[in-house]
Amino acid sequence: MRIIPAIDIIDGKCVRLSKGDYSTQKTYNEDPLEVAQQFEDSGIKYLHLVDLDGAKSKKIINYKTLELLASKTNLHIDFGGGIKSDSDIKIAFESGAKQITGGSIAVDQPTVFEQWIQTYGNDKIILGADCKNRKIATHGWLEKSTWDVIEFIQEYAEKGIRSVICTDIDKDGMLRGPSFDLYRDILRNSNVNLIASGGVHSMDDLIKLQNIGCEGAIIGKAIYERKITLKELEALC
C-alpha cells in the first residue's frame, strides 16, 4: 500500500482543517517546501497536495506552491483543488503535477471530466469521491450532491477511471480512525484502486487499510500532530 502524506494549502501555507470546515483552520508550517523535503528525506515518494483556496474558488489558485514543490523535490505529486477547466488542468500539469484529482468537475461537468480521462489517460486522472453520509460533496466540501458515493464511483469506473480517492468528511482531521466499512463496501462493489483518506491516527489504521485492500492511504493531521512519526512510516515506504 502506498503511503501518501498530505499538504493542504491556504495562502501558500501548510494547514489542516477538521471535517473540511474552513473555520477550523490550523497552520502547521508557513513553508510547505520544508514539509515536503522532510517527507522526501524520510523515504516517502508520494504527496497529495490540495489547493484549499482553489477548492472553494472557481479556479486553481496555489499553482506556484505546486511548481515550487515539484521543482525542489522528486516527490510524485497528486494535485487537487480548484481544477475546474481545461485551463486549470493544463496549469497543474505544467506546474509539475504527475496526477490531478477531480471531484467537483466530475459532478458539475461530467463531459469535461470524461474528456480529461480520454485525453490524459486514467493513469494521470484520479476521481475525487469525497462524501458526507455517503453523499458526494463538492466545492471544498461546502456543497452536497445527490450522488451516492458507491454509484458515483461505479459510474466513473465504467468510463475508465482506475484510481479513486475517497474521504469520509466526518472522519477527516478528527484522528478517530478511517471509515473502514465504507471502504469495504466500495471495494466490494467496484474494481478500482482505492486511496483512503481521512481519520488515520495510528499505524494500526494503516495496517487495517492495507488488509482491506486499499491501494494507498493519505495521512495528514496524524503526522502533524505526531500521532504517527516519519520514522515509523519509513518502514512502509
pLDDT tens column, 132-170: 999 999 887 778 899 999 999 999 999 999 999 999 999
Give SS3 for 157.
helix
Residue 66 has pLDDT above 80, yes or no: yes
- Mean per-residue pLDDT over the chain, rounded: 95
Cα within 13 Å of Cα(47), Cβ side: 31
Q: Is the pLDDT of residue 193 over 90?
A: yes
Instruction: Check residue 20 and give its pLDDT.
Output: 85
Evaluate if pTM is beyond 0.85. Answer: yes
pLDDT in tens, 8-59: 999 999 999 988 889 999 999 999 999 999 999 999 999 999 999 998 888 9
Across 98-116, average pLDDT: 96
In angstroms, the CA 23 to CA 170 distance is 15
Cα distance between residue 30 and residue 9, in whole Å:
10
Which one, of 96, 97, 102, lies nearest residue 115 by Cα? 102
Active-site amino acid positions: 8, 130
Type of residue at 226: R
Q: Give the CA count within 13 Å in the CB-facing half-sphere of 57.
A: 17
- Specify whether domain 2-234 bears CATH 3.20.20.70: yes
Burial class of 38 by CB neighbour count within 10 A (0 to 12, 13 to 18, 19+): middle
Instruction: Assess contact for 61 and 51: CB atoms under 8 A.
Output: yes
Cell of 128: 475525487
Q: So where are the chain's domains?
A: 2-234
